[in-house]
Amino acid sequence: MIKGITLVSAVAEGAAFDRLNSLFTALGFEQGKGWQDAQGRGAAFLAPTGNLEFVTGRPPAVPPVLVEVNQLDHIHTLVEKWLSENGEATVSAPGLTHWNSRLFTVQLTPELTLGFWQSENPLHNQPPAVEGDLSAANMRFAIVTTRWNTVITDRLLQGSLDALHRSGAAKSDIEIVRVPGAWEVPSAARTLAESKKFDAIITLGCLLRGETAHYEAIYNEVARGIGQSQQETGIPHAFGVLTCETLEQALDRAGLKAGNKGFEAAIAAIEMVSIQRKLAAQIGQVKP
């Protein structure tokens, strides 16, 4: 079984060899095991992945050493900084290529040119994964919210409804249940989940430390109860119970400055239902 690939490139001068080592070290390459004897020196640099490419006919118009990176502009800045501290060399500006990427080159010596590139395809080299879609059509949701701190929870509820309706959920497929406070949320969520009438439960609430002396005890039990209901029923539960120091912090997280956590909880619920359906379809296709 193939374990790895090593390409050995000769560097004519010792000074160029040292400059190349210095540049790769500055860019964060992991160093492998080097060597030195009476005839020369060697330095190894490791990368998470490697490619071996063979060509015939017209050679590609790229440097012989290509380094794939993310955050190409940041790498370009690091290279320019290194060059300003380590002598003259030629570095090009990042530019588009005909192979759907961006590339810049570094001419360290007349014989030694490096290329740094980044794909413009956001899925390039990403491992395949099952991910949820954000369509709520034909899904049923229950929202458990509280009457306590309604100035906050009503904002969270509106955020959740906005996310569901924007994603295609019908009004008739959304059930809203109001409970007295956060302590009662897990019980209502468990009852709704056990009914098997809903694809996901969205839990909303708000706990303020300044209002409740036993704030942490309540929060821990609410989180434990919601998590236990999800694990034991198999129905996704989205957690939208805020735990804040002050009313101002809660308002910020309910739509004023830091997004609306009710909206985010609903989006998470939609995605988890989609993931569960996809996984169930895959498992059903697996032959025993």
- pLDDT of 135 above 70: yes
Mean pLDDT, residues 59-86: 89
CATH of the domain at 39: 3.10.180.10
Mean pLDDT, residues 85-112: 88
d(CA 215, CA 222): 11
Residue 133 in any domain: the answer is: no
DSSP string, 236-276: -EEEEEEEESSHHHHHHHBTTSS-BHHHHHHHHHHHHHHHH
Mean pLDDT, residues 153-174: 95
Domain extent for 47 = 14-119
One domain, residues 85 and 155: no
pLDDT band of residue 8 (cuts 50, 70, 90) is confident
pLDDT band of residue 258 (cuts 50, 70, 90) is low
Q: Mind listing the pLDDT tens digit for each residue in 230-257?
A: 999 999 999 999 988 888 888 888 877 7
One domain, residues 39 and 102: yes
Residue listed under structure tokens 């800045």: 77
One domain, residues 164 and 103: no
DSSP state, residue 115:
E
CATH of the domain at 156: 3.40.50.960
Over the chain, what is the mean pLDDT? Answer: 89
Nearest 5°: phi and psi at 252? -60, -40
One domain, residues 213 and 259: yes
Element (H, E) at 190: helix 185-194
Q: Mind listing the pLDDT tens digit for each residue in 45-59?
A: 888 888 888 888 887
* pLDDT score of 154: 93
Burial bucket for residue 153 (CB in 10 Å: 0-12, 13-18, 19+):
buried
What number of residues does the chain have? 288
One domain, residues 80 and 146: no
- pLDDT of 175 above 80: yes
Q: Which residues contact 215 (CB under 8 A, 6 or more apart)?
A: 207, 208, 209, 243
- pLDDT of 214 above 90: no
Nearest 5°: phi and psi at 11? -115, 125
* Catalytic positions, written as ranges: 214
* pLDDT score of 195: 96
- The helix/strand/coil state of 40 is coil
Q: Mind listing the pLDDT tens digit for each residue in 99-118?
A: 899 999 999 888 888 999 99
One domain, residues 32 and 63: yes
Closest of 231, 228, 226 to residue 265, by C-alpha: 226
Residues 218-256 as b/e (b if ≥16 CB within 10 A, e otherwise) read bbeebbebbeebbeebebbbbbbbbbbeeeebbbebbbe
One domain, residues 177 and 276: yes
Task: Tokens for 267, please give them.
Answer: 């989006």
Contact assessment for residue 144 and residue 189, using Cβ atoms and an 8 Å cutoff: yes
Residue 160 in any domain: the answer is: yes
Q: State the total domains in the chain.
A: 2
pTM for the model = 0.63
* pLDDT score of 121: 85
* pLDDT score of 51: 83
Question: Among 43-47, 220-224, 225-229, whose mean pLDDT is lowest?
Answer: 43-47
